Structure 1
Amino acid sequence: MALTYTQFLMLLLIAYMLLGVTVASKGFNYGSPQTTYSDTPNRIIVGGSAYWSFGFNYSVWAFKNGPFYVNDTLVFKYDLPSENNTYPHNVYLVPDMRSFLTCNLSKGVKIANESQGAGEGFEFVLNKWRPYYFACGASDGYHCNVGGMKFFVLPLLRRWHY
């Protein structure tokens, strides 16, 4: 019996949530001075020192650098369009897993244009508990399809302290 798309998506979402909870609890140790958890939102540079660039695997980066939490800010940094940079970047928010997997940007929303990543970068706040699917739409999705410029996150809710 084959899984439907919806069943597959739900299974993937549940697995991600369970993995996220496991990863979140790994770094959280009450009373430890090396606690990685914070009650305050984090400001996270997408890609770390690689920034938002072609040829970097952002899905692996997101997995290794999670978990992400509601109200964390993702910062997309990339170069301005120029003679040396003939394929400038942008940032799309795509609506669902299928669009993400296929790099179909037709229903996506461009949330940062080719110049907004310069300087301090474009900031995006993960303001709800829902999956966020990001992709670069440069060259009609080529950067997403071939360059690895896509990732998704499901931010976790912050823990309450008593």
Structure 2
Amino acid sequence: MGFGVSDRSLILIVAVASMLVTVTVANRDWYYGGGGFNYTTNWPWGPRNLNNTNGPNKIIVGGSDHWRYDFNYSVWAFQNAPYYVNDVLVFKYDPPSRTPFVHSVYLLPNMRSYLNCDLSRAKLIANTTQGGGEGFEFVLKRWKPYYFACGERNGLHCNQGKMKFFVMPMLRRWHY
């Protein structure tokens, strides 16, 4: 039924579109045609969530919801873009001593692994105990896409719990 687009194709289209939006949002203060029109400040709706500090930002993944099951991190990542090289993502979650629902953080190697929640080639970057207290910090060191997922319950948290997201950090912050 519908247009015949598979769920995976639709997810891929949304993922690519969100990467493009991240690039345009991060560079929204470029001048159009050199004529002095700044499309960040000259539009009626003005700027929003510019994330334009001078240094790296510390960003708590999920905001006040932290890293938990059944929270849509793809939407969260999109709404909190742009991200920049050297920004720090902070993953906070309860350690096993405080909850039966443990979490971890994996870095997936590519978009295909991300879309399929395939953890077979993923790298564990934070185990079930590292999210307690002040959380686990991950620095976005390079200009490349980063794919994150919870690896608990053989990928169930990633597949059904929506505990996955990706970011594409920009190289530099633009100021106007």
TM bracket (short chain): 0.7 to 0.9
Corresponding residue for 1:119? 133
Q: 1:42 to 1:144 in 2, by over 3 A?
A: same
Superposition CA RMSD, Å: 2.9
Map of 1:1-150 to 2, 5 A cutoff? 13=16, 15-24=17-26, 25=28, 36-82=51-97, 85-150=99-164
Separation in structure 1 between the aligned mates of residue 117 and residue 51 of structure 2, nearest angstrom: 33
Helix, strand or coil for the counterpart of 1:75? strand
Query: TM-score, normalized by length of structure 1?
Result: 0.82
Separation in structure 1 between the aligned mates of residue 91 and residue 134 of structure 2, nearest angstrom: 9
Give CA-to-partner distance per residue, 1:32-71, whole Å, 9 cap, x none. Answer: 9x96411200000000000000010000000000110000
Q: 1:111 to 1:28 in 2, by over 3 A?
A: farther
Kept after mapping to 2: 8 A contact 1:104/1:141: yes
Amino acid of the structure 2 residue aligned with 1:100: Y
Structure 1's consecutive aligned runs of 4 or more residues displaced over 2 angstroms after TM superposition are 9-13, 15-18, 26-29
Q: 1:159 to 1:49 in 2, by over 3 A?
A: closer
Q: 1:73 to 1:119 in 2, by over 3 A?
A: same
Corresponding residue pairs, total: 151
Helix, strand or coil for the counterpart of 2:24? helix
Kept after mapping to 1: 8 A contact 2:108/2:122: yes
Separation in structure 2 between the aligned mates of residue 94 and residue 40 of structure 1, nearest angstrom: 27
Q: 1:11 to 1:112 in 2, by over 3 A?
A: closer
Amino acid of the structure 2 residue aligned with 1:22: T
Amino acid of the structure 2 residue aligned with 1:68: Y
Aligned-residue offset at 1:20:
1.4
Unaligned runs of 5+ in 2: 1-11, 30-38, 42-46
Helix, strand or coil for the counterpart of 1:120? coil
Structure having the larger proportion of residues in helix: 1
Give CA-to-partner distance per residue, 1:85-110, whole Å, 9 cap, x none. Answer: 22200000000001001100010000
Sequence identity (%) = 59
Kept after mapping to 1: 8 A contact 2:51/2:82: no
Unaligned runs of 5+ in 1: 1-8
Kept after mapping to 1: 8 A contact 2:84/2:173: no
Helix, strand or coil for the counterpart of 2:94? coil
